[in-house]
Amino acid sequence: MSPHPGLPEPRSDAMGGEGLSAASPKAARPSEILRRSARYLARHGVESPRETAETLLMHFLGTDRAGLYSRAEGLDSRTARLFGRALCQRCTGVPLQYLTGEQDFMGLRLTVGPGVFVPRPETETLVGTALDLLRGVPNPVVVDVGTGTGAVALAVKHARPDARVLATDLSETAVGLASANAERHGLEIEVLKGDLLSPVPEALRGNVAQIVSNPPYIAPEDYEGLPEEVRAEPYEALVGGTEFHTRLTDLATAWLEPGGWLVVEIGADQGDDVHAILSSRLEDVTILPDLARRDRIALGRRSPGG
């Protein structure tokens, strides 16, 4: 049985060919193990095979890159077995982060796992924009909708300790994981289970400084063309087109305080559509690019006049 619930069972020949079976793992130095493992991953079409092998081996050895390459001894049988299974699972499309159980996001190391969306580097642009808009706003109330691992909510709270940060998600698994990540980092956020803004306390209606969200925005017709490792993540956390942008925009004016902002992540080809959606209810609507100069963030605010 797979040691990671929800992940594919590895084949018994996970280290075959150029893998660890070519020599005893106890006799091989990590550099030699990495060389053969990277070739194995490359043959199976895994991107960045050397870096992937390094990340997995560092994880199972509990060391960093310097410790990995300075290590003289080989692997014990248990470590070799776990490493081999992980290589095989990576070749079947299991995300690397599901295998290590962690993902770094804006200086926070988050626990991740099957059933919850893996935070992406481009979402750091969303957080950066959100924080820029909160400058000069004392003790803001921020709601992260569709929190997943809690990445956005926790990054905001980490940067703005004075903020009251609430995080919502429809997935019970996500709510549990976000709560665990908050406890891991000692960050006090309120994680609530429910659809969009429905679990937010009624007393906050009209008093929210910012609603921020990385909603599922991949179009249904594009799903089958996604890489296998992306399709290993929850369908409902990936696919939604612009439906969620429409629903959030319809709710935003009732929850935002005057001058409060809605900030959402979008697909690279959704700028015009989401601009029109936000403009139907909000002011000062803007589409911003990510570091690759692709449309990535849409924002708009409730009229300062109410």
State the CB neighbour count (10 A cutoff) for residue 213: 23
Burial annotation 284-304 (CB, 10 A radius, 16+ → b, else e): ebebbebeeeebbbbbbbbee
| Catalytic residue flag (residue 117) | yes
Q: Is 91 buried (19+), middle (13-18) or exposed (0-12) by CB count in 10 A? A: buried
Beta 164-169 vs 108-111: how paired, if at all?
Answer: unpaired
What is the distance between the alpha carbons of residues 183 and 63, in angstroms, rounded to a whole number?
Answer: 24
Is there a catalytic annotation at residue 215?
Answer: yes
Cα 37 to Cα 91, 133, 234, distances in angstroms = 11, 46, 28
Q: Which of 60, 117, 199, 244 is catalytic?
A: 117
User: Does the active-site annotation cover 25?
Assistant: no
- Which residue of the set 83, 140, 215, 244 is catalytic? 215
Which listed residue (10, 25, 140, 214) is catalytic? 214
Instruction: Please list the active-site residues.
Output: 117, 214-215
